[in-house]
């Protein structure tokens, strides 16, 4: 992981009051665009 990516993740956690990396992962995956195949 690049230091800039690490900084972005930690800044996001601070700004959104996230408590764990798992919490951040869940939040980011929930806001990611959903791909549909069909």
Predicted confidence (pLDDT) per residue in 16-38, tens digit: 777 777 777 787 777 666 666 65
Once rounded to an integer, what is the mean pLDDT over residues 7-12? Answer: 82
Q: In whole angstroms, what is the distance from residue 1 CA to residue 23 CA?
A: 18
Annotated domain spans of the chain: 1-30
Degrees to nearest 5, angle at CA 27 with 12 and 34: 120
Predicted pLDDT of residue 21: 72
Predicted pLDDT of residue 28: 73
Of the candidates 11, 38, 16, 15, the residue with the CA atom closest to the CA atom of residue 27: 16
Predicted pLDDT of residue 31: 67
């Amino acid at each position: 992981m690049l230091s800039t990516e690490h900084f972005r993740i930690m800044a996001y956690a601070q700004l959104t009051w996230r408590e764990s990396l798992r919490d951040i992962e869940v939040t980011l995956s929930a806001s990611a665009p959903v791909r549909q195949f069909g």
